[in-house]
A = this chain, B = another copy of it.
């Protein structure tokens, strides 16, 4: 099969054998896969991953332990737990310390014609949900993780710092929960996009002295952290929604005196994400910046890394 492979030499289109699923796994023919910021970080060395990256996908099941799955259009949870440890037994496979993670850790990913995943990771897609929308399931689930972890009260004043892919989805999710959301973005085009989604948007400078109950850091930069933490009310909550590899300098006295809570937030639940996309509650169409064939995958990555780009998709054929 054709696959985009990342190694020391960089990202290259290669010919690879079709993977052989383990007894509990399904073989999935990939239809489309999305490039995430984590993929761009992997190309800079994040997680030390080499192999086939890619973890946002829609595919069709070709082989599975349970024949009912065969032929179904699916998305798949990206963390595959060991099934035996304390985390797995508590239903938290996402936090299994022995886990593999699709296209991120110990498991080849979705920028290929085929991938394998445990059958128990799969979610069948409803008919009314098109493939191009469904490929956003994983990042929408990551946005859902915020409300999974933090109780958002209707009317809560929420700030989302950063209007990248995850910031835009988080702002939409929090608005759906009834929060009064302000998104901070720097460029005119991003402010316009947010406003087209009925999200109140402003530049960080225009925030002035306004403070919020909750702030989501979705820039992955120390500057974003400073903006988020400096606009929190006492007892406010800061959600770290970006994985970023650099260390960050914080002032513990500020966190203690104002009793700030900082919540690290990663992968979320797929089922509600699928439902929100199916019902059209979360809008993703405006976020697609480009679409490439697998053969043009390296071009797709260049596009995704360009300033101003949002979601770039790779179609397998």
Which residues of A are in contact with B by a Cβ distance under 8 Å?
A: 86-87, 92, 95, 97, 149, 225, 233-235, 240-266
Q: Tell me whether B259 and A255 are in contact (CB under 8 A).
A: no
Q: Which residues of B contact A262 (CB under 8 A)?
A: 255, 261-263
Q: Tell me whether A259 and B249 are in contact (CB under 8 A).
A: no
Q: Among B97, B235, B254, B266, point to the contact of A95 (Cβ < 8 A).
A: B235
Q: Among B234, B241, B250, B263, point to the contact of A261 (Cβ < 8 A).
A: B263
Q: How far is the CB of A203 from chain B (nearest CB, A)?
A: 23
Q: Tell me whether B250 and A256 are in contact (CB under 8 A).
A: no
Q: Which residues of B contact A149 (CB under 8 A)?
A: 259, 261
10 cross-chain CB contacts under 8 A: A87-B234, A95-B233, A149-B259, A240-B252, A242-B256, A250-B250, A252-B264, A255-B262, A255-B264, A259-B266
Most chain B CB inside 10 Å of its own CB: which residue of A97, A241, A250, A254: A250
Q: Among B95, B241, B250, point to the contact of A234 (Cβ < 8 A).
A: B95
Q: Tell me whether A242 and B234 are in contact (CB under 8 A).
A: no
Q: Which residues of B contact A241 (CB under 8 A)?
A: 256
How distant is the Cα of A257 from the Cα of B264 in the complex, in angstroms?
7
How distant is the Cα of A112 from the Cα of B87 in the complex, in angstroms?
54
Q: Tell me whether B264 and A92 are in contact (CB under 8 A).
A: no
Task: Indicate whether A243 sits within 8 Å of B249 (C-beta atoms), given known contacts A234-B95, A261-B261.
Answer: no
Task: Indicate whether A245 sits within 8 Å of B253 (C-beta atoms), given known contacts A262-B262, A266-B259.
Answer: yes
Q: Tell me whether B266 and A243 are in contact (CB under 8 A).
A: no
Q: Among B249, B251, B264, point to the contact of A258 (Cβ < 8 A).
A: B264
Task: Indicate whether A250 sits within 8 Å of B253 (C-beta atoms), given known contacts A234-B92, A263-B261.
Answer: no
Q: Tell me whether B252 and A243 are in contact (CB under 8 A).
A: yes
Q: Which residues of B contact A87 (CB under 8 A)?
A: 233-234
Q: How far is the CB of A307 from chain B (nearest CB, A)?
A: 22
Q: Tell me whether B259 and A252 are in contact (CB under 8 A).
A: no
How distant is the Cα of A260 from the Cα of B263 in the complex, in angstroms?
6
Instruction: Name A149's closest neighbour in chain B (CB-CB).
Output: B259
Q: Which residues of B contact A252 (CB under 8 A)?
A: 225, 240, 242-244, 246-248, 264
Q: Which residues of B contact A97 (CB under 8 A)?
A: 234
Q: Tell me whether A259 and B264 are in contact (CB under 8 A).
A: yes
Most chain B CB inside 10 Å of its own CB: which residue of A225, A264, A266: A264
Ranked nearest first, the 6 interchain pairs of A and B with the lowest CB-CB distance are A95-B234, A255-B264, A262-B262, A256-B264, A260-B264, A243-B256
Q: Among B242, B244, B248, B263, point to the contact of A249 (Cβ < 8 A).
A: B248
Q: Tell me whether A248 and B245 are in contact (CB under 8 A).
A: no
Q: Tell me whether A265 and B257 are in contact (CB under 8 A).
A: no
Q: Which residues of B contact A261 (CB under 8 A)?
A: 149, 261-264
Q: Tell me whether A95 and B255 are in contact (CB under 8 A).
A: no
Instruction: Name A260's closest neighbour in chain B (CB-CB).
Output: B264
How distant is the Cα of A59 from the Cα of B133 in the complex, in angstroms?
67
Most chain B CB inside 10 Å of its own CB: which residue of A259, A263, A265, A266: A259
